[in-house]
Every structure is written in structure tokens, then in C-alpha cells.
Structure 1
Amino acid sequence: MTALSSATRGVLIAFGAYAVFAFSDASIKILHGGVPAYQIAFIGALFGCAALPFIKGRDDSWLDIVRSTNRTLWLMRFFCGAIGAIASIITFTKLPMAEAFCLLFLLPSFVTILSVIFLGEDVRWQRWAAVVVGFIGVLIVLRPGFRELSAGHLAAAIGGLVAAISIVIMRKMGPAEKRLSLYGAALLGTLAVSGILMLSEMVVPTPRQWLFIASYGLLGGAGNVMLMTAARLAPANLVAPPQYSQMLWAIAFGYLIFDDAIDLAMAAGIVLIICSGLLTLAREKKRGTPLPRAVVSADNQASLATSTDETGDNEQPAQTASHAIPQA
């Protein structure tokens, strides 16, 4: 198989992975809040365990799920994974899908800001311009002062910020941390935190609700495995842009299933937010900076995150949800 055909396959698999993530997120919205967010997160994480055999490397031990080179940062990832999973569920429950993705696509901007503050990165004006464009797009979509903001908007902001914190944590931990440990931290965190929280409010799901909760968890795990496969076949500058195809799925689901409408202002904001992310990718490609490789996370929305491992060695452990945007 030629390098070109391998890259093409990787890109196509990446498009498929992000479509699967979009279907997983739509499964949450179809539930219409009939099951508490904590309970969805817990059951979804249980189904997400199905991805573990595909994430485990040949030389990994199952105990690597709880092992770490830095226990403090592992525990921070543990709690960030739980908060991010719960926040994303609330976001898709409360907001139109397109609007939810608009806010979640701010993740690279959050990473840029946090990387400057906590990692001391040298970010040049082009990257700052992309951040500004992204935030202008969000202001156009939200129109604060002209429309009521809800708990869904707050959850989206919290989810994006927590995911960015998690990414910066993983960058700090370095590539020595095993993929199984990184995925396991978020997975175990979601199980533990949501399991405790749901004790105060539990419902018995109907067969239909079980179907969509299972869909949320299993499709999330499948999307992660597909994204890992795409990362092995194609370079990151080809795997990363397809994530924005989720917006097309969100618009289609909103129109066909949820009766959501997109006005001209929201469409303009969506374009600016997507351009913000693509401008960053284009900038890195022009400078010849090695772009990070997409990897897995227990939180579906961390599919927007990527890893620094660009060695080309498929057996090299990748860094979960790290280096979402490389240094400018």
C-alpha cells in the first residue's frame, strides 16, 4: 500500500470517526433529559470500557490503567475527565447541537491561553489572532444581552475549559505516560464521580432510553478506536481538519430530528469559529511544525484533542488529549 493510499484511508476513517462521535452526541440529545446526566455518564462510561482491549498495547498490563508516572497529574486528569463528561452531556441536553459544537470548538483557544499561563509557551500573534477570531465567533453565536443564556451554555464553557486543563496536564506529563493510563484516568474518574453523584437521583431507564444510553457509550468508544486507526495511517495535519465535519452532522441532526433552526448570525459565528481552528492548522503546516496525532479519550468531546507523538512508530504510546494545538 502506498503512502498516499494509506493517508487517504486515514482521512476517510477520521471522517467516519467524527461522524460516529456526532451520532453518539445525538443519542444524548434524543433522551431529552429523561435520565439524569450523572447516570448517563456512569452507564456510558461502563459501555465505554469496551474500547479498552483496543487501547491496550501488546506490552501493557491491565494494571497500567491505574499506574502513572505522575500520580498528582493523573488524579487531576481523573477529575477533569469526570467533569468534562458530565458537562458535555448537560450541554447536548440543553443546547441545539450546532450551538453546542460552536462552544466546544473553542477548546483549542482555551489550550492556547492555558499553555501560555502554565507552560510558558511562546505564542505568536498569528495564534492570538486565531483565538480572537474564535471568541468573536462565539459572541456572535451567543449574542449576550440579546438572548437568554442557559445552564447549557455554562456547562459548555465548563466542559471546554476542563478539557483544555486536562490537555495541558497531559502535555506536562509527557509522552512516557501510557495511553491506557491516560484513557483509564478519565474513564475511572467518570465512573467514580458520576457513580457517587447519581446515588441521590436515579431513574430506571425505559428500553428505549437504554438503547440510546448504550449508543452514547458504545459509539463513543468506537469513535475513539477509529480515531486511533486514522492516526496510524495519516499525518495529523490531515486527521485534524475532519473534526469540523461534526458541525455538518449537527446542523443535519438539528434540522431533521430536533427542529433546530440556524439564523444568519449563528451561521456567521460558526464560520468564524471553524476558521479560527483551520487558521491555526494552516499556520502550523506553513511553519513546518509537526502537528500532533489524534488519540483517544474517555470523554467524546476530547476527540477534538490530539497527541504529540509523531514518531511514526505505531507501538509508541500516544499521549491522550495532549497538544490539541501545537506551539506557534
Structure 2
Amino acid sequence: MNRQFRIFSIPGFDAFVAKATQAPGASICNFKLYVCNADDPTASWAYGGSSLPILPFFRTLKMPVGVVLAFLAYASFSVADALIKTTGPALSVFEIAFFTTSFSIIPAILTKRGERWRDMYKLEHPWLVHLRCLTAISGTACVMYAFTHIQFAEVYAIGFTTPLFVTLLSVLLLREHVALHRWVLLFISFLGVVLVIRPGMRALETGHFVMMAGAVLGAITTTILRHVAPKERRVSLVGLQVLYSAIVNAVLMLPDFVVPTPAQLGVLLGIGLLGGMGGLLLIQASRQTPANLIAPVQYSQLIWAILFGALFFNEYPDWIAIAGMLVVVSAGLLNVLTERPRIRWKPRIFFFRIGQ
């Protein structure tokens, strides 16, 4: 099985293209992620016999399918986060959340298969699903506030305490087994985060504490998703969160509402599409892989944080921060790759398919 996907393309940014190959009956797939210049026609991707003159971003890896999907999800989230930071000074957090959440439902509509929207409220675990919506909305607000008030890399650094909280909740609530070496690697990752933000050596702002709250809320959301995803409809998990978020943010954005310009509206559309697509990928990943294995994949966003911070926001971390990020990435990836549970491949992947 050979699949190619176009993840993102917008003028002024790079296009991210993925290629996944799976042998018949195999439980793992070979995965490549490419980057190409969206403004250079000679480097753009044409499906169906045309050449693909693009630079490999990851060398081919063999890993569980759920982990591959999680990598794609967090790549989409990272691009969306960069766009949020560029929009933040002009629009309120709640207005950004309203438009992006509303647009994020588009991927679910385009990829919906075999599920009816009128079944959205047919739930197996209604209280947990509604609780997940509330924690997701609150966590999103915290993250957007942090992006508009502190440095891009610092938001990610604090956010990468989420896997530690997810692992704790997975053990306490889901009774998942976590090997000793995983605890050691998570602790090393946490030390890397400390190197990046260096608390005690400088004054921390409100955004730092708000982001920490967002990390805890994100861990709760991920753990609930891991529990309910195998039993709930995808239309329920996606649709209810979008519906609740639109209502809450519509009310909260009214006092400071500003009519977005066409350019701002285009950026908000891009954020929404990327966020919605990433959410679908993460749901599918959670159905196939334990939460404590998916969680460390979020560390890949540190790479995007350094690239986007330097390219678009003139933010250059010092050598101590870079060393901390390398520690976090190394420990996180080792956590993913040191154990490969047998996972059944499900060919129905819920995001954009080029040429299909």
C-alpha cells in the first residue's frame, strides 16, 4: 500500500508532504515526511506521474502506525500555532479561537464516512465526552493566551510537560503499564524543559503559568480521548468539541470583537483546517496506540518551534536552551522507538488524500 498526502500549502509558507508505504498484512509502515517550497513551481508536488523534487525531512523509519499519525498531527498543529502567533496582536484570543474552531470542522465534513451528524449526541460515555470538550476548550484558550504573550519556543517547552502528566494519568486511571526506562526518559525530558525556561534565573510571566495549566488540561483531554475513542463515533468526538467551542468563544469575543480583514480571514481558515486535520489524525492515532506511547511524539514540535521562531519571529534560543531542546527531543524519540507493540493497521485514515 502506497499513500501520498498533501498536508498544507499556503503562499509564504512551506508545503508539507507525507508518503506512507505499508506491506500487505504488516502492522507497521514506512514513513517519509518531505518539505518543499510552496512558492517555487519547480519544487511543488504534482500527483500522478510527475516528479517530486523535494528534500526528505525525515529518513525512512519503521514505527507503529499510530505514532506515524501522531507525528503528522503535531506537524499540522505546529504550523497552525505559528499562524496563531502572527494573528494574535490584532485579534483577541477568543475571536481567534471562534473562527479557527469553526473552520476546523471542514476536514471532518470532507472526510466523514459512514457517520451521520444527527448521531452526534448518541454517546456511550456522555459525561466523559462532555468533560473532554470542556478541558479541550479551556486548554486551547490557555495555549492561545500563551502564544500571544510569551515567546514561541517557551510555549512549546512548557507544553512538553504534557506527556509526563499523560503518563501519570494513564497509569492511575487507564491502568496502562509503563516500563521503568520510560519513566527515566520522561524525567530526562522534564530536565530538558527546565534548561529551556530556567525558572528561578528570571522572572516568569503570567503566560508561563497559564501555559502550565494548559499542559495539565491537555493531558486530561488526551487521557479521556484514549479511553473513549474506541467506543465513540468520530462525528461525536469532533463535532461536539467544535460546537461547544464555537458557542463559548462567540460569547467571550463580543466585547473586543474586530472584523477580520480578508488576509486575516485566510490565515484563520488555514489555522482551522490544520487544527481540524491534526485533531482527526490524533483521534485515529489514539485508537491504535497506547496514550503513553503517543504522548512523547509531541516533542517533535520542538524542531518546528526552533525553525518557525527563527524564520518568522526573529527568536533565537541560546545554546543552553538548544541543549535543553535536544535533550527533550532525544529522550522523547527514544521513548517512542524503544518499544513497538503489535498494532493492527486500519486503512481508513481521516485526512486529505491527494488523487483518491
What TM-score bracket applies, with the shorter chain setting the length? 0.7 to 0.9
Which of 115, 122, 125 is 1:67 aligned to? 122
Specify which structure has the higher proportion of strand: 2
1:33 and 2:33 are equivalent in the alignment:
no
Contact 2:98 2:246 in 1 (8 A): yes
User: 1:38-49 alignment to 2 at 5 Å?
Assistant: 38-49=94-105
Distance 2:338 2:140 in 1: 31
1:312 and 2:328 are equivalent in the alignment:
no
Specify which structure has the higher proportion of helix: 1
Q: C-alpha offsets along residues 128-171 of structure 1, whole Å, 9 cap, x if unaligned?
A: 21221122112111111111212322232122211110122223
Q: Give the direction of change, closer, same or farther, for the CA distance of 1:22–1:82 in structure 2 (3 Å limit).
A: same
1:124 and 2:163 are equivalent in the alignment:
no
* Matched AA of 2:306: I
Q: Give the direction of change, closer, same or farther, for the CA distance of 1:187–1:245 in structure 2 (3 Å limit).
A: same
Contact 2:162 2:218 in 1 (8 A): yes
* Partner secondary structure for residue 155 of structure 1: helix
* Matched AA of 1:312: W
User: 1:132-143 alignment to 2 at 5 Å?
Assistant: 132-143=187-198
**Larger Rg: 1 or 2?**
2
- Name 2:56's counterpart in structure 1: none
Distance 1:81 1:239 in 2: 17
Displacement, 1:244?
A: 4.5
* Matched AA of 1:31: T
Mark the runs of 5 or more structure 2 residues left unpaired by the alignment: 4-19, 23-28, 35-67, 351-356
Displacement, 1:260?
A: 0.6
- Name 2:78's counterpart in structure 1: 22
- Name 1:324's counterpart in structure 2: none
Contact 1:98 1:254 in 2 (8 A): yes
* Matched AA of 1:209: Q
Which of 164, 170, 193 is 2:248 aligned to? 193
1:113 and 2:168 are equivalent in the alignment:
yes
Which of 331, 337, 340 is 1:276 aligned to? 331
Contact 2:105 2:238 in 1 (8 A): no
Contact 2:139 2:218 in 1 (8 A): yes
Contact 1:55 1:180 in 2 (8 A): no
RMSD: 3.5
Q: Give the direction of change, closer, same or farther, for the CA distance of 1:129–1:240 in structure 2 (3 Å limit).
A: closer
Q: Give the direction of change, closer, same or farther, for the CA distance of 1:241–1:117 in structure 2 (3 Å limit).
A: closer
Displacement, 1:231?
A: 10
Residue correspondences, number: 294
**Could you say which structure has the greater relative contact order, defined with CA pairs below 8 angstroms and 6 or more residues apart?**
1
Displacement, 1:100?
A: 1.9
* Partner secondary structure for residue 284 of structure 1: coil
Which of 121, 126, 133 is 1:78 aligned to? 133
Distance 1:183 1:240 in 2: 20
TM-score, normalising length from structure 1? 0.77
